[in-house]
Structure 1
Amino acid sequence: GETEEDYTWCIEQTIHGPGGWHPNMLLDDGGDLTKIMHENFPELLEQVKGLSEETTTGVHRLMEMERRNELKVPAFNVNDSVTKSKFDNLYGCRESLVDGIKRATDVMIAAKTAVVFGFGDVGKGCAQSLRSLGANVLITEIDPICALQAAMAGFRVVTLEDVVSSADIFVTATGNYHVIGHDHLCAMKDQAIVCNIGHFDNEIDVASLKQYPWENIKPQVDHVRFPDGKRIILLAEGRLVNLGCATGHPSFVMSNSFTNQVLAQVELWKYPDRYENKVYVLPKTLDEEVARLHLEKIGAKLTRLTAEQAEYIGVDPNGPYKPDYYRY
């Protein structure tokens, strides 16, 4: 139920504090704080040493700002730290998506046909969790590499138009705009479940549904009734289903992301002169350290390279163990 005006007001409360306080560092999750600071309060950026951002969408915005020479402070792309994107995005969504759907609907996933839009790290986690509960999972993709990955993982890659009238559950995970349009919504079957775990509520054309009657079943769960009498179940009004209908990712996997955020903030605070107004990623040594810090908690023990083994493959015995171009 929060309006866009309320949302903007809340962000601005983090910019203006008691006694004329203003931030000297920015820690963002989605890019909205960064956007508002650059557009509405550019003069305040003069005292900001840098910012860190941990979402795919937020990083995309930062890269666009850098390309247009609009970025006024150095920025760390935390999202592409391996211990963020391969853990929060993949393993976090693998647990929190179904948690949100289950809490909202109590539906049985087994034997349902679920369409996951996008097979990036978020989509991969979503597809795995739905399949683990017995769903027939279909994937839509624009990227041929991700589409081939999905096919090789045993998922059928389809276009939405081919399956929209028969699928039971729709999950958007792209970060793009109107991935599910009004015509798609009209073509869905009665009681189809529609939700988003990508980013903003405009992945689904929720605005087009305002012309129809809504029946609130319980908080964050709505029936939208179409003129032919059909109803679809819309979760979290098209916003992030794992936050709107559940409590987000488990804290352990979020600890990976937040550790990266802290390391990025410390780096920018201690060494601001090292960085221009560009987008950077954390060095691999810090990425490995984030993983190392979490291993003891889960009872995992690392094997140590001998000096001879390290020399043989050309690495330091203490890491980093992979080149920057390595894809985990």
Structure 2
Amino acid sequence: MKYDVKDMSLAEKGKLRIEWADRNMPVLQLIRKRFQVEKPLKGVRIAACLHVTSETANLMRTLKDGGADVKLCASNPLSTQDDVAASLVKHYEIPVFAIKGEDNQTYYKHIHAALEHQPMLTMDDGADVVSLLHSEKKELLQYVIGGTEETTTGVIRLRSMANNKVLEYPIIAVNDAQTKHFFDNRYGTGQSTLDGVIRATNTLVAGKTVVVAGYGWCGRGVAMRANGLGAKVIVLEVEPIRAIEATMDGYQVMPVAEAAKVGDIFITVTGDIHVIRKEHFEVMKDGAIVCNSGHFNVELDLEGLAEITTSRRTIRDFVEEYTLKNGKRVNVLGEGRLINLAAAEGHPADVMDMSFANQALGAEYILNNAKSLEKTVYPVPQPIDREIARLKLEAMGVSIDTLTPEQEKYLASWEMGT
């Protein structure tokens, strides 16, 4: 079996992490038990490009138990948990190509390695596998039935491909499931982002001014958690409806040029390029902390920052101090990559339980409906979304009501009136 991980001697520690995460992923456990019996993915070759973490490991176990032939590579160079990667190879015989801190060349070499078995399904977190298949590896498209996409940035890229009629196979947008974007993006990103900032800096959040760029589900979660820790929160937005929502939620809303002068901690979660630019870095307070929790590090214009920098040094793990020509210092966390995975452990397993349940059931859905699906991006079918929520509530010991026949009739009719 081919693989490329940092150190196989880390495998035992990784196995414990996988087991710990599994205890907090009851929905995925139930799916795995069914998959072990039914084998709905039997003989299906899957190339997965996801964050290589203990939670992802349990998704890989589920896919393999469902009969799939899985290969896994990293969707981010800094998010890999090397012990988990080693355990997947040693204990679960799943080929992994991921090393924490790998350079860009190695990153793409690993994606190529994951594609060597001519995948029939792709699982992406950022659409890098899909992009590669549509550019350098077009000869492999003939084998692909469909794919799934985990994150907002990837869905944006894939919808662009579909709109331009260049997408060659159907994709399920796992990110758009309510049990993903509401729970994962809001509560997962909110908690894990602040966790990463605190682990990297050991700074006190209370009393600080935290600037959150973007007020989508991730931005809502980050703002909520920063506010809960006692921060004064400023939101940056370009969309009027989200801006008014942030205002009504009690946050200040202003342009980035104004916020740059008063913020202590800056967190980008927009999915767009160069949200914080050279002219913004120049006016920041001395000692400002800047990080990104959007998928790619392009949200921070680090090249522009380098142009106005006289020196830089790593002052703490995951903290690079830039001394600017004006004498001020700006601290960039985790090389501008996902701070919640670069400096922390990403989302809690409780959160990823539902996201990866969507991945597993999304893969099964594509296989069962491939002949009727067009080459475009589909939402997760609502029955799957609702069933995952039901199972999660059950696991949490939460009960809900059901409509009476009278109530169902009332909601479905127009005759009864008031």
Q: TM-score, normalised by structure 2?
A: 0.73
2:320 match: secondary structure: strand
Q: Report what 1:320 is aligned to.
A: none
Indicate which of 315, 324, 332 corresponds to 1:226.
Answer: 324
Q: Report what 1:54 is aligned to.
A: 150
- Separation of aligned partners in 2, 1:184 and 1:79: 31
Matches within 5 A, 1:109-188: 109-188=205-284
Q: Report what 2:288 is aligned to.
A: 192
AA matched with 2:373: Y
Q: Report what 1:319 is aligned to.
A: none
Indicate which of 280, 291, 296 corresponds to 2:378.
Answer: 280
- Separation of aligned partners in 1, 2:316 and 2:110: 25
- Separation of aligned partners in 2, 1:167 and 1:209: 17
Q: Percent identity?
A: 41
1:217 matched to 2:315? The reply is: yes
Distance 1:189 1:2, change over 3 A: farther
- Separation of aligned partners in 2, 1:158 and 1:208: 22
Indicate which of 264, 275, 291 corresponds to 2:389.
Answer: 291
AA matched with 1:157: V
Q: Report what 2:109 is aligned to.
A: 9
- Separation of aligned partners in 2, 1:236 and 1:283: 36
Matches within 5 A, 1:84-103: 84-103=180-199
AA matched with 1:304: T
- Separation of aligned partners in 2, 1:86 and 1:168: 28
2:291 match: secondary structure: strand
Deviation at 1:207? 2.0
Q: Report what 2:159 is aligned to.
A: 63
Deviation at 1:227? 2.1
AA matched with 2:350: F
- Separation of aligned partners in 1, 2:375 and 2:301: 35
- Separation of aligned partners in 2, 1:80 and 1:203: 21
Deviation at 1:155? 0.7
Q: Does the 8 A contact of 2:289 with 2:331 survive in 1? A: yes
- Separation of aligned partners in 2, 1:175 and 1:155: 21
How many correspondences in the alignment? 311
- Separation of aligned partners in 2, 1:15 and 1:247: 27
1:261 match: secondary structure: helix
1:73 matched to 2:169? The reply is: yes
Bigger mean CA deviation after superposition, 2-11 or 186-195: 2-11
AA matched with 2:312: W
The CA deviation string for residues 55-85 of structure 1, in whole angstroms up to 9 with x for no partner, is 1110111111011110001111111111111
AA matched with 1:196: N
Q: Report what 1:301 is aligned to.
A: 399
1:305 match: secondary structure: coil
The CA deviation string for residues 91-133 of structure 1, in whole angstroms up to 9 with x for no partner, is 1012101100110001000111111001100000000000001
AA matched with 2:103: T
AA matched with 1:12: H
1:161 match: secondary structure: helix
Indicate which of 182, 202, 205 corresponds to 1:106.
Answer: 202
Q: Report what 1:42 is aligned to.
A: 138
Deviation at 1:163? 2.5
Q: Does the 8 A contact of 2:277 with 2:305 survive in 1? A: no
- Separation of aligned partners in 2, 1:296 and 1:204: 41
Deviation at 1:249? 0.5
- Separation of aligned partners in 2, 1:286 and 1:27: 18
Q: TM-score, normalised by structure 1?
A: 0.92
AA matched with 1:269: L
Q: Report what 1:205 is aligned to.
A: 301
- Separation of aligned partners in 2, 1:99 and 1:292: 28
Q: What value does the CA root-mean-square deviation take over the aligned residues?
A: 1.3
2:282 match: secondary structure: helix
- Separation of aligned partners in 2, 1:314 and 1:45: 45
Deviation at 1:209? 3.2
2:267 match: secondary structure: strand
